[in-house]
Structure 1
Amino acid sequence: MRVIRPFDPWKSKLCTCPEKYSFNPYTGCAHDCTYCYATYIPNFRHLREKKDLFRNLERDLKTLPPDSLISMSNSSDPYPPVERQREITRKCLSIMREYDVRLLVVTKSDIVVRDLDILSEMRCAVSITITGLDFLEPNAPPTEKRIDALRKVKDAGLPAILRFDPVIPEINENRLDIIDRSNPDHVVTSTLKLKPDSLARVSKILPGLNERYRERVGRYYYMKREDRYRIMKRIEEFCLDIGISCAFCREGFEFRAESCDGSHLVSTAQNNTLNKLKNF
């Protein structure tokens, strides 16, 4: 396949994601998050458009097994600022709608609200990352815009997923108001995990962080297990108390939700309206 690929969770033994595919409408990312794990990729901060994207997307969609789940996106945000004018992701959604795929949209941007007209006709869920860490996410929309966007997703009748990730002790671990105010259907959360380059960057802004990151898991530095467990369980208990399912991403702890990423909220029933239109 050309642009849709099997999801590779960075070969993490702690990944609990279901089988799914990954699709990135753009190459690189413009949000410039300080903690970004993907900056080891050459020119990752330089956003690029893909050659023959729409044609290649259609070719790949024709080869996908029925009811395949596509996650968009897992490295490059599908809604960079330039998407307001370019509408590349919007065009991709229009194409995917015709193939009735199951779609999980993952973004940090409120631009996704623009495309609710298309998404409401698809089997999909929308996951928005909201951390309250605007100072570490300089080119992403501010927290308040993202909270408002997630509420609009839910108001439109789509499954709304909050990605409260990354969580940093004593920095945003107490921002449980974000969960309450955004009112999602599901929360996926995770503590900050850093590669050597991102650890160096974040430590310049948050001195003393190095002292917490001593456990090596694969290519990442983790906080001590007991610190991670305390934070994750506190968030889970808060969610359960207000009736929201909660799961953890690559933490190694059990959770009660049906899936970590919220993909259980994406309908497995075919969109009969679209099927009728295609067969007309």
Structure 2
Amino acid sequence: MASEEHLKIFPKSSRLRVVKPFDPWRSPLCTCPMKWVVHPYTGCAHGCVYCYASNYIPKHSIPRPKKDLVSSILKDLRVLPRGILVELSTSSDPYTYPENDLKLTRRVLQILLESDMRVLITTKSVFILRDLDILSKFRDRVAIAITVTTPSDALSHVLEPGAPPSSERLKAMEILSKHGIAVTLRLDPIIPMVNDDYNEIQSLIKAAARAGALQVTTSMYKAKPLDFRRVYAVTKLLRGSNAAENLKHLYYGDAKSTTIEGYRYLQEGLRLSYVKLVKEVAESEGLAFATCREGFAHLHTPGIACDGSSYTYNLNSSEPMPTSFPPKV
């Protein structure tokens, strides 16, 4: 369903088929600008151990294309105004493996950009490079957020077994940047005792800066029972039983940890210390900084959207950014 905010500004939002208003459970911590989202595929083959979408999408590890996607988007575009921000995607990767043959994401991308929409792509896949021709042509209205959670290819294979190695994602970032396409790093989630080593975080951000990233967006792992079982098992495998039990205590035993919108959050002080660490390194490399659903918007670089979508706008003009979601009441 469309949120009240979307319906207030665009009353026809309730009639949309596949271009859906982004409304993340009306989270009081979400600072995303107003945007819409398209999922060319349901499910994702990356197999990330921390994946939140696996909690509510059946057979999430088996990606399948949305039925009648292209025709539905063309119908939706008759209702939507030009120039809005559309993201590909939030609960799946738009370049998951069926895209190699089906080319649905490529077709959707082309339709959206030729219809004067702004597009934010969030991905772990290097297959995005196939679409360099489209991305380069419309570079002024495109931003790419590439998720990399560790500089270690070995660790990324454990955490994200179906995704390309970290080194390949950083190389894709460099290629996109050299083509004049705005690229940001999503360093999220950070999982205590798994990918929270300071030296590795510093190494990753430095590598992203060298590759041409403009911004770092970070967040801490937020637990739900299904994904926490996987994260617990991986922590035990990588760091031992004591570390796994410590992780469990941090999320489920610490009296200062809390539940927000169904997710278990680390205690605020601990989250803040991690976030400040990333901010310090990012800013030392000249990168903009933001967080995702942490409640620390005061730490964000002024004028920069948390999701990296600012770069789909001319930041030197007087053109306004979209309205952000209001706090939940």
> TM-score scaled to structure 1, two decimals?
0.92
Structure 1 position 143 matched with structure 2 position 166:
yes
The match for 1:165 among 146, 170, 188 is 188
Structure 1 position 44 matched with structure 2 position 70:
no
Q: CA deviation at 1:114?
A: 1.2
Match of 1:191 in 2: 220
| Secondary structure, counterpart of 2:219 in structure 1 | strand
Q: What is the alpha-carbon distance in structure 2 between the residues aligned to residue 129 and residue 62 of structure 1?
A: 32
Q: CA deviation at 1:62?
A: 2.2
The match for 2:45 among 30, 34, 42 is 30
Structure 1 position 250 matched with structure 2 position 293:
yes
Q: CA deviation at 1:268?
A: 5.3
Structure 1 position 265 matched with structure 2 position 311:
yes
Render the CA deviation track for 1:5-41: whole Å, top value 9, x for unaligned: 0001133111000100011111111111111101122
AA aligned to 2:83 is D
Q: What is the alpha-carbon distance in structure 2 between the residues aligned to residue 242 and residue 136 of structure 1?
A: 26
Please provide the CA RMSD for this pair: 1.4
AA aligned to 1:15 is C
AA aligned to 2:43 is G
AA aligned to 2:17 is R
Structure 1 position 178 matched with structure 2 position 222:
no
Q: CA deviation at 1:63?
A: 1.5
AA aligned to 1:12 is S
Render the CA deviation track for 1:101-142: whole Å, top value 9, x for unaligned: 100000011111111110122211001000123311110111
Q: CA deviation at 1:87?
A: 1.4
| Secondary structure, counterpart of 1:36 in structure 2 | coil
Q: What is the alpha-carbon distance in structure 2 between the residues aligned to residue 98 and residue 59 of structure 1?
A: 15
Q: What is the alpha-carbon distance in structure 1 between the residues aligned to residue 52 and residue 116 of structure 2?
A: 31
Match of 1:272 in 2: none
Match of 2:250 in 1: 212
Q: What is the alpha-carbon distance in structure 1 between the residues aligned to residue 122 and residue 260 of structure 2?
A: 24
AA aligned to 1:260 is C
| Secondary structure, counterpart of 1:194 in structure 2 | coil
Runs of 4+ in structure 1 off by over 3 angstroms are none
Q: What is the alpha-carbon distance in structure 1 between the residues aligned to residue 206 and residue 77 of structure 2?
A: 37
The match for 1:126 among 140, 144, 153 is 144
Q: CA deviation at 1:256?
A: 2.9
The match for 1:231 among 270, 274, 284 is 274
AA aligned to 1:135 is V
Q: What is the alpha-carbon distance in structure 2 between the residues aligned to residue 13 and residue 142 of structure 1?
A: 34
Structure 1 gap ranges (5+): 270-280
> TM-score scaled to structure 2, two decimals?
0.79
Deviates more, 1:11-20 or 1:250-259: 250-259
Match of 1:221 in 2: 264
| Secondary structure, counterpart of 2:299 in structure 1 | coil
Match of 1:66 in 2: 82
Q: Tell me, yes or no, if the aligned pair for 1:102 and 1:268 is still in contact at 8 Å.
A: no
AA aligned to 1:205 is V
Q: CA deviation at 1:170?
A: 3.2
| Secondary structure, counterpart of 1:63 in structure 2 | coil
| Secondary structure, counterpart of 1:213 in structure 2 | helix
Q: What is the alpha-carbon distance in structure 1 between the residues aligned to residue 82 and residue 107 of structure 2?
A: 22
Q: Tell me, yes or no, if the aligned pair for 2:291 and 2:300 is still in contact at 8 Å.
A: no
Structure holding more helix per residue: 2
| Secondary structure, counterpart of 1:70 in structure 2 | strand
Return closer, same or farther for 1:113/1:204 CA change in 2, 3 Å cut-off.
same
AA aligned to 1:6 is P
| Secondary structure, counterpart of 2:111 in structure 1 | helix
Q: What is the alpha-carbon distance in structure 1 between the residues aligned to residue 171 and residue 287 of structure 2?
A: 18
